[in-house]
Structure 1
């Protein structure tokens, strides 16, 4: 298994992984991924096994310190020189879950954010995953304003500085 950055040629595989990982109401569609890949491919980490994409993490960089729903659909909000690395999704196909794939990717994202001088990493998650992200040092900042997919989300932040 190895980690690499995404390219537009990965679009169909990425969309398929997303569809396998999230309910339709929460999943990004192919067009959203296309816009993300065209705007910030260096903030799209893929984990491959024998040439197959089995997991990925993606998200824009922003000066805004809170992840807002508009960011999911509006790739133009990306600011390469922003202070905060956002994480929009942590996807691992079902047959590879609970094998450390997501952890490898999250640690890579954190390391890249440190190297790039970001203030930190921001994500939202459901209550059942709070403990998972806390093990990386993310702090729960409470219930998010997000209404993405009709779910209840929690704002999580990992400060790097």
Structure 2
């Protein structure tokens, strides 16, 4: 098996990403096919897929905002998204259940953070369940608060990472 690679999503990835999203998330948590298509169409720079041996095995996507309101459900359809805004809001971090437990999510997140840093973003915000708080803390996120969102009927926690521009040599 070859190591995973990363690329920007294209419309041909919609069905596979929707399939993974539905397998990995519980109940009403999963984004609809339409939301995934909208995210790829409107902000492909923020929709990164992970491939292994020519097959998409995971993805991460987000949008950008000037003022982040994590409980804003409309933002999940990129309503209010501004690609020039400095703050990234992660909407999905998903690995095919058959490929979980191999460090792929951490690698994908580090790749996404590097990409967003290189594009000049200042912060990355996300919501996660209790069981993922420690993982995101290890990746450099700071716990903010329990979220007022009840997306999918679940309890969520808000986290944030401050990005630092790479130091340039004089």
Same fold (TM over 0.5): yes
Where do 1:36-47 residues align within 5 Å?
A: 36-47=39-50
Write the distance in 2 (CA, Å) between the matches of 1:33 and 1:16. Answer: 11
Write the distance in 2 (CA, Å) between the matches of 1:15 and 1:81. Answer: 27
Post-superposition offset of 1:90: 0.8
Point out 4+ residue stretches in structure 1 off by more than 6 angstroms. none
Query: Is 1:27 equivalent to 2:30 in the alignment?
Result: yes
In the superposition, the TM-score normalised over structure 1's length comes to 0.95
Query: Is 1:70 equivalent to 2:80 in the alignment?
Result: no
Query: Is 1:156 equivalent to 2:163 in the alignment?
Result: no
Question: Which of 13, 17, 35 is the equivalent residue of 2:16?
Answer: 13
Gaps of 5+ in 2: 165-170
Write the distance in 1 (CA, Å) between the matches of 2:48 and 2:104. Answer: 12
Write the distance in 2 (CA, Å) between the matches of 1:83 and 1:145. Answer: 23
Partner of 2:88 in structure 1? 85
Aligned residues: 160
Equivalent pair of 1:69/1:147 in contact (CA under 8 Å): no
In the superposition, the TM-score normalised over structure 2's length comes to 0.90
Write the distance in 1 (CA, Å) between the matches of 2:6 and 2:103. Answer: 13
Post-superposition offset of 1:96: 0.9
Partner of 1:48 in structure 2? 51
Larger Rg: 2
